[in-house]
Amino acid sequence: MGRLIPIGALLAFAVIASGCASPDGTPTSESTTTTISNVGGDVEPVQRPSEVYPHDRGDVRGTLVRETNGCWTIDTGAGPLVVVFPIGTSVDHATGVVTTADGFALANGETVEGVGGLTAVNDLPGAPDGFWSNYLGFCDPVALQVLVVDEFTPIDSGEAMTDEELVALLTDATLAVSWPCGLGFTLSDEDQGVAIYVYPSAAEPPTVTPVVLPDPGWEGSVVLGTNLLVNHCDDVVEPHEPVRVETAVWPIIGGTIDFEAPSELCGAAGPIEATLRGLVVAGPLGSMTLPDLDVVNTAYGCFAG
């Protein structure tokens, strides 16, 4: 799937839920639509066929969360967003199970993927006095937006990859994409499914090069997964961005990092090129030695890009 379509500028205020129910469950005089008591615990936050939920459709991937107040959210990597489920979804508040229109039973903490997008709360049907305003008034009164999902399923309901398959994934990977920033070097394949990280672990890393691993001032690892570099050196993670998923992490226990260290670590050092020679990875089936790899950090320095 591709990345979720970016949403335009969001409004800088939340809708106030003015149509709340009275303690006995009856609507107040301010409400223009039907309201109910305990909206977080006894209703289904599902799209109504007769309603329109303005949003740009794109790929959605995240963790389904049943909050302590009984409301449902999806965390796409930058914090939970109240979710509006697709038409045909059923929510069992007693068991904490969400069942999709296709019959998939999803529980709290399950990773899901599908199609949907963000909707500003004031664009929800009936706002500010309708059902959704009341629902958000209970679930998240300060929410600026909700995640409207049009279709979704659990991710990879099959068996996990075996150790042999993971090793083959690393062995067959073409590691040719360099990533900038930080005091170290990052290399991945084109699909961001395999990545190599070598970086100083000391507060003031030594400037003597080449670095021969193991070295007390440096660490390294090989990571396998999905979207591994999606937020590499990104200070702001947007709710619509894909989720970084780690399947396996293996330490680098040997090899050489051959580069010329800059004289000022936190200055504008510019691009620093390195050759990773004979890195030894402690994999699940024994150690593996990687071929020599060239990498460049175009923004070598102390801070994120």
pLDDT in tens, 29-86: 333 333 334 444 457 899 999 999 999 889 888 888 888 888 899 988 778 999 999 9
Q: Give yes or no for a contact between 236 and 230, defined as CB atoms under 8 angstroms apart.
A: no
The predicted structure's pLDDT at residue 234: 73
Joined together, the tokens standing for residue 59 give: 């790929």
Q: What percent of the chain has pLDDT over 70?
A: 76
SS3 state at 41: coil
Contact assessment for residue 228 and residue 246, using Cβ atoms and an 8 Å cutoff: yes
* Residue 19 reports pLDDT greater than 70: no
- The Cα-based distances of 298 to 178, 181, 185, 221, 304 in angstroms read 9, 7, 10, 20, 12
Q: What is the pLDDT of residue 237?
A: 56
Quickly list H helices, the chain: 131-139, 163-172
Contacts of the segment 283-287: beta carbons below 8 A, 24+ positions apart: 283/163, 283/166, 283/167, 283/170, 283/250, 284/163, 284/166, 284/167, 284/248, 284/250, 285/163, 285/164, 285/167, 287/253, 287/254
Let me know how long the chain is.
Answer: 305
Question: Residue 79: its pLDDT value, please?
Answer: 83
Contact 225, 156 (CB under 8 A): no
CA atoms within 13 A on the CB side of 7: 23
Residue from 158, 4, 33, 148 nearest 89 by CA: 148
Put simply, whether the predicted model's pTM sits higher than 0.75 gets the answer no
| DSSP string computed for 268-283 | ----EEEEEEEEEEEE
C-alpha span between 212 and 124 (Å, rounded): 58
Could you tell me the end-to-end alpha-carbon distance of the chain, in angstroms, rounded to an integer? 26
pLDDT beyond 90 at 103? no
Higher pLDDT, 261 or 215: 215
> Phi/psi zone of residue 39: left (φ > 0), alpha (ψ -120 to 50 degrees), beta?
alpha
The mean per-residue pLDDT over the stretch 108-136 comes to 87
Bigger pLDDT: 204 vs 172? 172
**14 touches 142 (CB < 8 A):** yes
Q: Which residues contact 203 (CB under 8 A, 6 or more apart)?
A: none
* Mean pLDDT confidence for 96-101: 86
Alpha-carbon 304 to chain mean position: 18
pLDDT at 300 over 70: yes
Q: Once rounded to an integer, what is the mean pLDDT over residues 16-34?
A: 34
Least confident of 188-197, 230-239, 251-260: 230-239
What average pLDDT score do residues 23-30 get?
Answer: 36
Q: Given the DSSP bridges, would you call strands 145-154 and 80-84 parallel, antiparallel or unpaired? A: parallel
